[in-house]
Structure formats: C-alpha cells, structure tokens
Amino acid sequence: MHAWPASEVPALPGKGADLQIHDTATGGRVTLDPGPVARIYVCGITPYDATHIGHAATYNAFDLVQRVWLDTKRQVHYVQNVTDVDDPLLERAVRDGQDWTELAERETALFREDMTALRMLPPKHYIGAVEAIPGIVPLVERLRDCGAAYELEGDVYFSVESDTHFGEVSRLDAETMRLLSAERGGDPERPGKKNPLDPMLWMAAREGEPSWDGGSLGRGRPGWHIECVAIALDHLGMGFDVQGGGSDLAFPHHEMGASHAQALTGEHPFAQAYVHAGMVALNGEKMSKSKGNLVFVSKLRHDGVDPAAIRLALLGHHYRDDWEWTDRVLQDAVERLARWRAAVSRPDGPSADALVDEIRAALADDLDAPSALRAVDRWAALQQSGGGTREDAPGLVSRAVDALLGVAL
C-alpha cells in the first residue's frame, strides 16, 4: 500500500538527547539505544470507520518518538500495518450492505488524509494484512511443523505454552488475561483448545467470507496477531526498538505477537520496548468504534478546525494518561495556537536557545509533551511582554515546534 506524503522536518542546531521511555514489559523507564537506524513498528487501524481522536492521540505519541530520534540525527525505519481483513471490518460491511474491500479502501484513504493534515510522519512501509498473506502462510506452517501450533476443526491455533517468555509483555494474571482475551477478539470458551488463551493463527474459510490460498493450511484467512508479526519480521527483523499502540493492545495483541515471533525465531525479545498510549474517552467512556462515541478528525477538519489545533490538543496530554476529549480541550488548543502564531510573527524576540533545550529535554523524558508546551507558552508570554531583540528567535521557535512537535506555526 502507499502511505501518505511526508511533511518536512526542519533541522535544528545541535542535537537532541536519547529517549527514555516507559516500557510495558519491564514496567519502568528504559533508555533506548537504537543504532544509526532506529526501528519502530506501530499497529495501524482496522479501517471500518474514520480516524477518531483516540487513534490520532496514539499515532501522535509514536510520531513524537520518531521526531526525537530524528533530532538525535538518526534515521528512522518506521513500519505500520492496516488490518484490512478482520471480523469487525467484515461485520460492518455486512451490516451496511457494502463491499468490504471498498469500505477498507475508503477508510484507509481518509486515514491517510487525516495523518497528512496532522503532520504525522508516514511509515516507510505501509502494509495491508491482505497483501501480507503470502508471507503469513509459511510462518503459520513453520509454527505448526515445530509443534508451536495445532489444528482444531480446520483452524490453526498458536500454543501459548510454546514460548517460555509468554506473559512477559503485559505481566497480567491468568484471570485478567482470560477476560481480556474474550473482550478483544479471542475465543477462550471454544472447546478443544489446549489453553483457553491460545489465539488463532489461521482461520479456515467460512461460508460467505473472503478466503485465500493457505498452501498446506487450506483456504482461509490470517489471525490478527500473526499479521503484525509477519510484517514486522519482514521489514524490521527481531529485536527492533519499539512496538507501539494504544494500551488496549498490550494484551492480547502485543503479548501474542511477541510469543509468535519468539517461537518462530528462538530469539528474544521481539521488541526492545513495548510502548502503550493511554485511552481517550468521550462522555466518560473509551472512544471506540464498537461503542460509536466518536469524534472524527475528518469531521473537525471539515468543520473548519485547524489541524494544528487538533494536534496541540493531543500534545496537551501526556501520552500515557487516559484523558477525556471535550470542547474545552479543543478551545484551549485553538487559543494556544493563536498565541504562539502571534508570538512567532514578530520580527524579533527573546532568545530561543534555552527553549529548544527545554523542548528536547521534555520529550526525551518519556515524551513529556505537556511540559514542552508549557515551555513554549513561557517564551510566548515573554515575547508578548516585549522581552527581547534576537532576530533569529521567532524563526527558531517555529522550526523547533515544527520539527519536534509536528505543529506548523
């Protein structure tokens, strides 16, 4: 699949600090040490509805990771998937009487537009589940042939017990895993499984559903976790730096993905750090396609809201926090954007050298974007009170806010 166009990332004087980030698997802060090419996989959308503010908040977090890396003068190798065939997508297509491929294409196109408008850096490889199927089939066959997977009525399941590290990503107790598995696409109640948590790797063709040639697996379609594993192994390899997604992906998705990859390769870990963004709520409940309590990025844009204000509204919350979207959140961001734009439109201003250091330090400290925003607020307030005559300052602030926060002033 094609991704979306990249917005330019201005180069800044000097160099940023190495990123420290909260890793779900260790439950604490880790200092990432990527090589000259940092590798990141971020789980993409299931395209059956438009991009909502919750999605945008999660992609914003991982966009910041990349901006910090770019500022340390590294290259970034970024991979994202599109779950363009899965139960919820097929169910929505049936409900609305539309073709599932058209639904997926339309919503993916809208997602690209939203990401472009929000100045999210595009992945180098943007891969759909359907196009990954030829790579998925041999992985499932290998897992089956080495005893890490088994067949049940034509479907193929992964045996969680085949990975000695199973459970180390989410660190949840068995009961919680079981509950979350049932809630998030698993089938712990299905009789005949070796372990109730075992996830499906390959689903035999169902009447009325799309299916593909699965070689010795027979016709069918891939399970969810193996999709991301196949794409990540193909384009990044084992031990890449960050696997990212919202906190609802820690279990089962990232737990199972890590186990699939570890069982396949005999290597550990799948990712150096598993990073999870908090959930955005609306009216007291997690914003979710299945509940329908959504604020769409595209709707806000069409209502005339500046995408830079949407981005500032996201940046005003720490990525790990759960938070609530309100009109007030957006209004505050609109006002902040106006203050910043007024401040950088003057011909001179107070020195911005310290501000650049502050933004860099805040982001390197577990992506503390709210602190970075407050630092810019302080510079803008000083500017407002006529605090300086440095001619390079407004331009430097604009470039730093663009390069590090993805906001064009």
- Chain centroid offset of residue 221 CA: 24
Query: Does the CA dihedral 281-287-292-296 come out positive or negative?
Result: positive
CA contacts within 13 A on the Cβ side of 171:
7
User: What character string, x for contact with ligand 5CA (CB under 6 A) and - otherwise, covers 186-225?
Assistant: ----------------------------------------
Cα separation, 68 vs 31, whole angstroms? 13
Q: Which stretch binds ligand 5CA (CB under 6 A): 4-12, 55-63, 101-109, 301-309?
A: 55-63
Q: Using the rule CB under 6 A, is 249 a contact of ligand 5CA? A: yes
Nearest-Å Rg of the Cα atoms of the chain is 22
Cα separation, 260 vs 61, whole angstroms? 26
Q: According to CB under 6 A, which one of 12, 19, 40, 57 is a site residue for ligand 5CA?
A: 57
- Residue with smaller CB distance to ligand 5CA, 41 or 340: 41
Q: Which stretch binds ligand 5CA (CB under 6 A): 43-51, 92-100, 118-126, 171-179?
A: 43-51
- H helices of 96-154, where? 100-117, 129-145
Q: Using the rule CB under 6 A, is 83 a contact of ligand 5CA? A: yes
Q: Which stretch binds ligand 5CA (CB under 6 A): 38-46, 132-140, 213-221, 262-270?
A: 38-46
Q: Using the rule CB under 6 A, is 277 a contact of ligand 5CA? A: yes
Residue 287 contact among Zn ion, ligand 5CA, none, beta carbon within 5 to 8 Å by kind: ligand 5CA
Expressed in angstroms, the distance from the first to the final Cα of the chain is: 31
Q: According to CB under 5 A, which one of 38, 180, 197, 228 is a site residue for Zn ion?
A: 228
Cα separation, 130 vs 136, whole angstroms? 10
Calculate the alpha carbon distances from 223 to 67, 128, 151, 172, 194 in Å. Answer: 32, 13, 13, 22, 17
Q: According to CB under 5 A, which one of 12, 38, 40, 43 is a site residue for Zn ion?
A: 43
| Residue 106 amino acid letter | R
Helix, strand, or coil (residue 199)? coil
Number of residues counted as binding Zn ion (CB under 5 A): 2
Cα separation, 218 vs 75, whole angstroms? 41
Binding footprint of ligand 5CA on the chain (CB under 6 A): 43-46, 54-55, 57-58, 81, 83, 228, 245-246, 248-249, 277, 279-280, 286-288
Binding footprint of Zn ion on the chain (CB under 5 A): 43, 228
